Amino acid sequence: MNATIHIVEPDSVVRSGLSALCQAVTSDVRCFSSLRELLPGKNPDTLCCTIVGFDSGEMNGADIVHQVRSAQLPTPIILLDNSSNIGDAVQAIRVGAFDVMEKPFVTGLIPRVRQALSNSANV
């Protein structure tokens, strides 16, 4: 698949593991330690999926979705949360997150990434 996966994860070990895992989908995996690194200069014409790991104590998923959308990056966003706050997950989905998964995730991420990319390509 000719696509780009953006991984935003503050923990370098988790970021490295996510990168290795996502190589099963595409060889174009780009890693960032923060949204601040990702958002400037991003090409919105590229078929991509953005995976954002975060600690809900710092910000919630809806805030992340709003930041990405305000940067005019039309990418499906998969959020990886450290908590299981159902209300925050529902709110993130309502404002446009493709999915919210709880860390540590064992299965399911790669199929969701493939589905997000497929949905994005069909829009």
57 pLDDT higher than 80: no
- Kindly state whether residue 15 falls inside one of the protein's structural domains: no
Residue from 5, 7, 42 nearest 120 by CA: 5
43 pLDDT higher than 70: no
- Kindly state whether residue 52 falls inside one of the protein's structural domains: yes
Domain of residue 58, CATH code: 3.40.50.2300
d(CA 44, CA 30): 15
How far, CA to CA in Å, does 100 sit from each of 39, 62, 82, 84, 121? Answer: 20, 11, 10, 10, 20
- Kindly state whether residue 40 falls inside one of the protein's structural domains: no
- Kindly state whether residue 85 falls inside one of the protein's structural domains: yes
d(CA 120, CA 123): 5
pLDDT digits (tens, 9 = 90+) for 5-18: 999 998 899 899 99
d(CA 48, CA 51): 10
40 cis-preceded (ω within 30 degrees of 0): no
Domain boundaries, position 55: 45-109
Mean pLDDT across 21-47: 81
- Kindly state whether residue 22 falls inside one of the protein's structural domains: no
31 pLDDT higher than 90: yes
- Kindly state whether residue 71 falls inside one of the protein's structural domains: yes
- Kindly state whether residue 20 falls inside one of the protein's structural domains: no
- Kindly state whether residue 49 falls inside one of the protein's structural domains: yes
What φ, ψ does residue 77 adopt, rounded to 5°? -115, 125
Report pTM: 0.87
pLDDT at position 86 is 84
pLDDT digits (tens, 9 = 90+) for 76-114: 999 988 776 788 888 999 999 999 988 876 678 889 999
Give the chain's domain count.
Answer: 1
pLDDT at position 50 is 87
For all residues of the chain together, what is the average pLDDT?
83
